[in-house]
Amino acid sequence: MRIRTLACPLCSLLISSLALANLEISVDAAPIPSIPLSELELAVFSLDANQNDSPAVTARPKPSPQPEAARPPAERRPPVDELDQTEWLAIMMAHRFSTTEIADVFGLSPDEANQLVQNTKLNTPDLLKRVPSTGAGVPVVLPYPGGRHPRIGFLEGAVRPQRETKVSLFAPWKDGGYVVIDLPEAVWHQPDGKRELLYLAHTHVPTIWDKQQVTLNPLEWNRKVPATLQLERVLPNQVTMTSRAKRATEGLRMEFSIANHSKTDLTGLHVQMCAMLKGLVGFDEQTNDNKIFQAPFAACKDRSGNRWVILAFDHCHRAWGNPPCPCLHSDPQVPDCAAGETQVVRGWASFYEGTDIKAELKRLEKLAFEPITQSE
């Protein structure tokens, strides 16, 4: 994790506070450019140092699990009809949700949720096409159902996480769990030269819409095509963000596009793409010692050292990880988007079993950022 320092009393106070908070901090001698305070507020443990190595400040908090009662409440999403209810129930069961978690998401009592689980047939051929069995030798992509926080720590930095940005990629091996990918977590831009949040997939630092007291409506992934998810959000300034995720033969292909239908050019489009490891069995240690960052790739190994999860986006500005969460990032810099234009970045996520991760990353360089096609 990297924190840039400012030549002002506020920075000194921040670093002192971090030290007092039982953090191990090391400071390099290299000069560090200044950054807006809003970025400090957004991610105390994950600030952008505009480089992929030689961090100016490295902070390693000692894990301190938050009591369940102190965690953010579930984001409730009642189903729109019986078919929607059955499909989301199957998705939650694939994530091994408890009846209490199912009740939280659907807005039911625990008894109602338990009765729903007992009375719903989840093994019909049609449903299995839409919500396939996991751990059967191939990765499976499903929308994340929400209700269960996808992080272990730094929960205060992601209150009420929105499920409509989150995709779960299940490991191909039995009982492997899943990684949750925020597509995207945050979108920054620079109106009038000042860095501002255009979008944030949870509640923390105010976006430009929060500052204008404009509420963005909750959305849902389009799940009509099996193994494919798509979401389109039109922002109040007529900028359209589109996220797509499609299971490929060896992993998950992703696309994120920004269509600028406003009258103002969009610049400084720094996007945070986050892969959260809490639900991936054996990968949930709160450290960066089990990770490698070789932009555009960020990869994490499990406790055995023989299994890896990999995340990558083209136009990668920085590959890094945040130990408290824990998570991987491959954050793209979307090219400036003039009024009337559309810009696209492409991403990849996959699993690898073996000991030569460097060779695997080299191999993926040739196939990771191909466009999404219907045939794959």
Instruction: Indicate if 108 and 159 belong to the same structural domain.
Output: no
Question: Cα separation of 184 and 221, whole Å?
Answer: 13
| Domain finish residue from 62, 90, 107 | 62
Residues near 147 by Cβ (< 8 Å), separated by ≥ 6?
A: 74, 75, 76, 92, 97, 101, 102, 104, 105, 163
pLDDT by residue for the chain (376 residues), tens only, comes to: 443 333 444 444 333 333 333 333 222 333 323 333 334 334 433 434 333 333 333 333 443 444 433 334 557 899 999 999 999 999 999 999 999 999 999 999 999 999 999 999 998 999 999 999 999 999 999 999 999 999 999 999 888 999 999 999 999 999 999 999 999 999 999 998 899 999 999 988 899 999 999 999 999 999 999 899 999 999 999 999 999 999 998 999 999 999 999 999 999 999 999 999 999 999 999 999 999 999 999 999 999 999 999 999 999 999 999 999 999 999 999 999 999 999 999 999 999 999 999 999 999 999 999 999 876 6
| Domain finish residue from 131, 147, 167 | 131
**Position 277: which residue type?**
L
Instruction: Indicate if 162 and 257 belong to the same structural domain.
Output: yes
Closest-CA residue to 368 (of 248, 270, 242):
248
Q: Which pLDDT score is estimated for 108?
A: 95
Here the CATH number for the domain that contains residue 198 is 2.70.98
Write out the H or E segment, with its range, that includes residue 251: strand 251-260
Q: Count the helix, strand and coil residues of the chain and give each as a percent rounded to the nearest 5.
A: 20, 30, 45
Q: Which pLDDT score is estimated for 367?
A: 94
Closest-CA residue to 139 (of 31, 251, 53, 46):
251
| Domain finish residue from 16, 34, 62 | 62
Structural domain span for residue 87: 72-131
Instruction: Indicate if 184 and 282 belong to the same structural domain.
Output: yes
Q: DSSP secondary-structure letter at 77?
A: -
Burial (CB count within 10 angstroms: exposed 0-12, middle 13-18, buried 19+), residue 6: middle
Count Cβ neighbours within 10 Å for each residue of 25-55 and write b for 16 or more, e otherwise.
eeeeeeebeebeeebbebbbbbbbbeebeeb
Instruction: Indicate if 150 and 215 belong to the same structural domain.
Output: yes
Q: Which pLDDT score is estimated for 241?
A: 98
Instruction: Indicate if 186 and 279 belong to the same structural domain.
Output: yes
**Position 135: which residue type?**
G
Q: DSSP secondary-structure letter at 68?
A: G
Q: Which pLDDT score is estimated for 3?
A: 38
Query: Does residue 345 form part of some domain?
Result: yes
Cα-atom radius of gyration of the chain, to the nearest Å? 20
Question: Cα separation of 164 and 219, whole Å?
Answer: 6
Query: Does residue 67 form part of some domain?
Result: no
**3-class SS at 11?**
helix
Residues near 29 by Cβ (< 8 Å), separated by ≥ 6?
A: none
User: What are residue 346's phi and psi, to 5 degrees?
Assistant: -120, 145
Q: Which pLDDT score is estimated for 15?
A: 38
Instruction: Indicate if 160 and 215 belong to the same structural domain.
Output: yes
Q: Which pLDDT score is estimated for 159?
A: 87
Structural domains in the chain (count): 3
Instruction: Indicate if 143 and 279 belong to the same structural domain.
Output: yes
Q: List the structure tokens of 32.
A: 């560090």
Instruction: Indicate if 43 and 190 belong to the same structural domain.
Output: no
Instruction: Indicate if 9 and 114 belong to the same structural domain.
Output: no
Q: In the chain, what is the straight-line distance between the N-terminal and C-terminal CA atoms, in Å? A: 36
HSE on the CB side for 7, CA within 13 Å? Answer: 4
Instruction: Indicate if 37 and 181 belong to the same structural domain.
Output: no
Instruction: Indicate if 55 and 91 belong to the same structural domain.
Output: no
Instruction: Indicate if 82 and 205 belong to the same structural domain.
Output: no
Query: Does residue 316 form part of some domain?
Result: yes
